[in-house]
Homo-oligomer: A and B are copies of this chain.
Amino acid sequence: MNKVCEILGTEYPIIQGAMAWIAEGNLASAVSNGGGLGIIAAGGRDAEWLRAEIRRTRELTDKPFGVNIMLLAPNVDELMDVVCEEKVAVVTTGAGNPGKYIPKLKEAGIKVIPVVANVTLAIRVARAGADAIVAEGTEAGGHIGETTTMALVPQMVDAVDCPVIAAGGIADGRGIAAAYMLGADGVQIGTRFLVADECIVHPGYKGAILKAKDSSTVATGRSTGHPVRVIKNKLAKKILRLEAENADEEQINQLCTGTLAAAVRDGDADNGNIMSGQIAGLVKKEQPAAEIIEEMFKEAADVFASRKGII
């Protein structure tokens, strides 16, 4: 059996990417019902919301699902308490090393899968007891590192003993098959799930993903040391201009205030902060999450079979 499926308790070795204010019970349960691991993103949420959302998701699926916790969140301790009390199946983490929480999470029977963008941190979280690691390339949407999936995955696989799950640049069966060749035992996919029927993001946001081409995203925030991949719209261009002019971080933060809500809730394709991976150009169709999963893994098998000749 696939090691990642064993850890996740799923039919397919796929985790839905955590997308703040987007990934909640509707999407998470749809992904889990489709045989993947749905994720509730706790970023920007309080403990009460998270507890209620976990319970609501349990009513929508009897399959395992997970919660993503940003380690820099001011309420991280409270959020960790909630997932332990509610005993979710998996916790994925962002922005650091969840080491100090791992004993408590394991005691609650929770698998811990940090999302990591470089090999140094991967070695550290593996030593701290991570069950698997998501190797996230710079082509992913949202907060990113600098190394690409193609370069990062094999270097991480060589450096750690636990399973590696590839993220960034994957939106179809070709990407899944490629990730397997690089040594990953599973994938994490965000961008394609943005257009899942069950994803609650505003249709304007979905439209921006469906319209995107290969060069439609850009990393803002590199000058501040916190790059974020977004659709290159009016807002993104304004941010880049301020960065090029060496504007205060304060001024940039002010420009960004409320722009995630403008994207997610209002679907403002010009002035919203539309986080997206570079692979958005491959995403062409709104579908149920379960159909996306089935289609991608079928395609991965077909691609693998059809490429036998070239090898």
The 8 A-B pairs with the shortest beta carbon distances in the complex, nearest first, are A150-B169, A177-B181, A151-B278, A178-B178, A148-B148, A178-B181, A139-B148, A151-B169
Residues of A within 8 A of B (CB): 2, 118-120, 137-139, 146-152, 154-156, 158, 168-170, 172, 174-175, 177-183, 185, 213-215, 218, 222-223, 244-246, 277-279, 281-282, 300-301, 303-304, 307-308, 310-311
Chain B residue at minimum C-beta to C-beta distance from A213 = B119
- Min CB distance, A237 to chain B, in Å? 14
Q: Are A278 and B147 in contact (CB under 8 A)?
A: yes
Chain B residue at minimum C-beta to C-beta distance from A170 = B150
Task: For A174, list chain B residues within 8 Å (CB).
Answer: 154, 181-183
Q: List 11 A-B contacts (CB under 8 A).
A: A138-B148, A148-B148, A148-B169, A151-B214, A151-B279, A154-B175, A155-B213, A155-B282, A156-B214, A178-B178, A244-B246
Given A120-B213, A151-B278, A222-B222, output 20 extra A-B contacts at Cβ < 8 Å: A2-B310, A119-B281, A138-B138, A138-B148, A139-B148, A148-B148, A148-B150, A148-B168, A149-B150, A150-B169, A150-B170, A152-B214, A156-B214, A174-B183, A180-B307, A180-B310, A181-B181, A181-B304, A301-B311, A304-B308
Query: Do A119 and B214 form a contact, CB below 8 Å, given A148-B138, A148-B149, A172-B154?
Result: yes
- Min CB distance, A242 to chain B, in Å? 12
Task: For A149, list chain B residues within 8 Å (CB).
Answer: 148, 150
Option from B148, B151, B279, B300 in Cβ contact (under 8 Å) with A311:
B300
Task: For A311, list chain B residues within 8 Å (CB).
Answer: 177, 180, 300-301, 304
What CA separation (Å) do A218 and B138 show in the bound complex?
13
Q: Are B139 and A181 in contact (CB under 8 A)?
A: no
Task: For A152, list chain B residues within 8 Å (CB).
Answer: 214, 278
Option from B120, B178, B303 in Cβ contact (under 8 Å) with A215:
B120
Task: For A183, list chain B residues within 8 Å (CB).
Answer: 174
What CA separation (Å) do A207 and B184 show in the bound complex?
29
Q: Are A137 and B148 in contact (CB under 8 A)?
A: yes
What CA separation (Å) do A184 and B246 show in the bound complex?
40
What CA separation (Å) do A227 and B175 show in the bound complex?
26
Task: For A138, list chain B residues within 8 Å (CB).
Answer: 138, 148
- Min CB distance, A12 to chain B, in Å? 11
Task: For A244, list chain B residues within 8 Å (CB).
Answer: 223, 246
Q: Are A277 and B214 in contact (CB under 8 A)?
A: no
